[in-house]
A and B are shown apart, each in its own frame.
Chain A
Amino acid sequence: MRSRTLIRLAIALASIALVSAACGTDDDEAADTSAAPATTAAPATTAPPADEPEPEPEGMSAEDITAAFILVGPVGDAGWNWAHDQGRLFAEQETGATTLVVESIPENAEAFKEVAIDFIENEGADIIFGTSFGYMDPMEELAAEYPDVVFEHASGFKMNDSNFGNFFGRIYQPRYLSGMAAGAMTQSGQIGYVAAFPIPEVIRGINAFTLGARETNPGAEVHVNWTFTWFDPAVEGDTASALLEAGADVIAMHQDSTAAGVAAQDAGARWVAYNSDMRNFAPEAFITAPVWHWGPRYARTIEAVAAGTYAPGAYWGGMDDGIVQLAELSADVPGEVADRISEAAELIRTGAWDVFTGPINDQDGAERVAAGETMEDGPMLGMDWFVEGVVGDASP
């Protein structure tokens, strides 16, 4: 009795299998004739710009290069990962190289190595771009293991002298400018900052933003709430709402989602976005945003590898190089403020002045940078204190 049921089940399953297999065959045939091969990584259709030909005997054309990008989150975040993917597409157009991308690879050594090795061994990747801080250790290991592949790491600090370098941008420069706009737009003088993690990169951004806000609005205060997230729309939206309820009428942020902006718009407040020009997500709230423009850097790296001139370094480019920029100001920013922002941008771009130029006091009123002095990169990279005007704890 039991075995009969079993046989009946087996027959049922087998017949389903056969029927589906028949359908499956049709699909496979259809796939062979009609479906495009699986590549999001199709080479750019437009011809690459006619760069000067590389004479070096070992030099390849940039079109022969395969550059693989490993992203920590979804490309659709409209933030960090989206900005990197835009950079990838730009570089592909610009150089004619083949580019490949995988998204949502966690900051986990094993996961990263697996993907990178797949890229190298199966797809013949010549360059691996890793765009999250936590990829640093596995990139270092792989660089030693694959000396013929170039590894470029965004936001890290490790490198070697042959095939492993790092790159980042002085996003604090446009953050300062966005702070100037925010200072001009706040009515209450209370600005809320939805902060990601208490690390120097984020603290530096908060400080630059605050210095800018107090440039246009000397009494402005920037209230910092930590979310301990990079991409968690629910938490980031809630944190923005809490700051708004506490009296802020402008919200700034450091995460990859647009949730803080949506919360600001719902409350009739204003918003300084980050990473990319996010104005379409909360058009009434949007003021401006410090944005990343990774493309030119990626294109240059690909060309250098093709030409055999690549040398690893620790690149920290600023507005002079275009890797960081300020998004277009919303139309209601007063013209006089817009002019002041342009002037400051010009000073930064020409190198005549930089954001962390004294006198700068910390939260307790103690002088950190003397008048006329400009902070060196070292202390800037390790910044763990807040400037005057920030309300919050830099080491929560």
Chain B
Amino acid sequence: MTEPTHAPLHTVARGRARWHRVLVRPVLQRRARVAPAAQAIAFVIGIVLALIAGALLLWGSGNDPVTVYQRMAESSLGGFDALSRTLLRATPLAIAGLAVAVAGSMGLWNIGAEGQMMAGATAAAGFAMVAGDLPGPVLIVLMLVAGAVGGVVLVLGPALARAYLGVSEIITTLMLVEVAIRIVEWLKVGPWKDPESFGFAQISPLPDKASLPGLFGQVHIGVLFAVALLLAFWLAVSRTAWGYELRMAGSSPATARYAGISLQRKVLTALLLSGGLAGLAGAIELSGTATRLEPGLSSGYGFAGIIVAALALMRPSGVAVVAVVFGAVLRGGQSIQTLGVTSSIATILQAMILIGALVAAVLLNYRVRWVRPVGSGADGDAAENPASAGASGV
């Protein structure tokens, strides 16, 4: 009846133990407190540095960096319509990012949010098929509930396996992504095939009333759900006993157990919440942007949620900011392709910007310490610090 090993990253630290004793090595140690202003400045500096490096890339690939950057800025932030497009992308990013962050705040990595989004969208679409007679608003609300349930169902196996058997959720959640996408593929050519599409394979369209109402420009009211969820989780994680226990279970499982907190229960809650949120994101994406369920619906937002959560250091407040910046980067990166920037260059550019922001955040929030050999107290201390391991795991 031993508790499952908590963070797999501890194991990594233990594996290194042998050469710890021989070599001087760098260790990232989390700073106790960093001013929010410094956080913002570092973020901006990181992005600016990446843009400068990106200019070299653009110039080297035969593009004019000034024109390209101008287009990027205009298309993502220049005016109401542009902003609405950025927010349209930020919505699924924020909710998926929050999903990953909820699990991440207790040291768990739900990297299968992509699959849970698909499961959520599938459940929502299925519900719209059987309950299409309901009035629009009721239908939409129930579709969103179905979406959350769908996400929970997909993550249930990994969550139970993690809580009671110690099976790494990193692997199981990821593997189920493919399963979820394949199920949609199968529904598309099989039971949910649209009988009115002349034998072509596509799932029957959603009724018009199943669409989320628009807010302004391109963005739908899903963005308000995202804001509400972020607020709710910020309050829950930072202001309630439940949130405190969750964080403690993540940062020092032994202490948490000693304090009578059931780790298994916490693991289950965190992963199921995480899956439910991702499922909700999928349902919102379906109802907000699509005319029918299709295998490409979540288009990588679930995976991008991992980056969002990591950049946000698993904090809901950070998720909000990062999701909008990420949304702008995606929108801008898309827009420059119609200027003639090839999709590979655009993707590299997007990645550079995100890496710039990530490196700046790590440099600011962690201190590099050179640890000397021979079991000095600081050595063990730093090696067991889960935050440091978390950073290198990113």
Q: Which residues of A contact B (CB under 8 A)?
A: 2, 5-6, 9-10, 13-14, 16-17, 20-21, 23-24, 27-28, 30-32, 35-41, 68, 74, 100, 102-104, 106-111, 114-115, 118-119, 122-123, 133-134, 137-138, 141, 156-157, 197-201, 228, 381-384, 395
Contacts and interface: CB of A to CB of B under 8 A. Distances in A.
Interface of B: 31-35, 38, 41-42, 45, 48-49, 52-53, 55-56, 58-59, 62-68, 71, 75, 85, 88, 182, 185, 189-190, 197-202, 205, 289-292, 294-297, 299, 331, 334-335, 337-343, 360, 363-364, 367
A107 B335 CA distance: 17
B210 to A, nearest CB: 14
A339 B59 CA distance: 54
Contacts of B68: 38
A27 B64 contact: no
Contacts of B291: 109, 137-138, 141
Contacts of A157: 197-198, 200
Contact of A35 (B34, B59, B290): B59
Contacts, number: 154
Given A2-B31, A107-B296, A31 B335 contact: no
Given A28-B66, A103-B343, A110-B299, 12 more contacts: A13-B363, A24-B56, A39-B340, A74-B343, A102-B337, A107-B296, A115-B334, A134-B294, A137-B292, A157-B200, A228-B185, A383-B199
A25 to B, nearest CB: 10
Given A108-B294, A199-B200, A21 B52 contact: yes
Please list the 4 inter-chain residue pairs (A to B) with the smallest Cβ-Cβ separation, ordered nearest first.
A382-B199, A38-B63, A200-B199, A110-B289
B185 A381 contact: no
A340 to B, nearest CB: 32
A10 B290 contact: no
Contact of A199 (B66, B201, B299, B367): B201
B53 A122 contact: no
A17 B338 contact: no
A35 B62 contact: yes
A200 B62 CA distance: 43
B189 A38 contact: no
A110 to B, nearest CB: 4
Given A10-B41, A23-B52, A28-B55, A108 B299 contact: yes
Contacts of B42: 9, 13
Nearest to B75: A118
Contacts of A383: 199
B45 A134 contact: no
Given A10-B38, A109-B289, A37 B367 contact: no
A279 to B, nearest CB: 26
A20 B343 contact: no
B296 A108 contact: yes
A17 B48 contact: yes
Contact of B189 (A68, A104, A198): A198
A137 B205 contact: yes
19 contacts: A2-B31, A6-B35, A9-B363, A10-B38, A23-B52, A30-B59, A31-B58, A32-B66, A38-B63, A102-B337, A108-B296, A114-B331, A118-B75, A122-B338, A123-B339, A133-B202, A200-B199, A381-B198, A382-B199
A107 B360 CA distance: 35
User: Quick one: which of A6, A20, A68, A102 has the most chain B CB within 10 A?
Assistant: A102
Contact of A109 (B198, B290, B335): B290
B66 A31 contact: yes
B296 A118 contact: no
B337 A9 contact: no
Contacts of A114: 85, 331, 334-335
B65 A27 contact: yes
A38 B339 contact: yes
A114 B299 CA distance: 14
A133 B202 CA distance: 9
A128 B255 CA distance: 62
Contacts of B199: 199-200, 381-384
Given A100-B340, A110-B289, A31 B205 contact: no
B299 A106 contact: yes
B64 A107 contact: no
A227 B334 CA distance: 30
A381 B338 CA distance: 34
Nearest to B205: A137
A395 B202 CA distance: 15
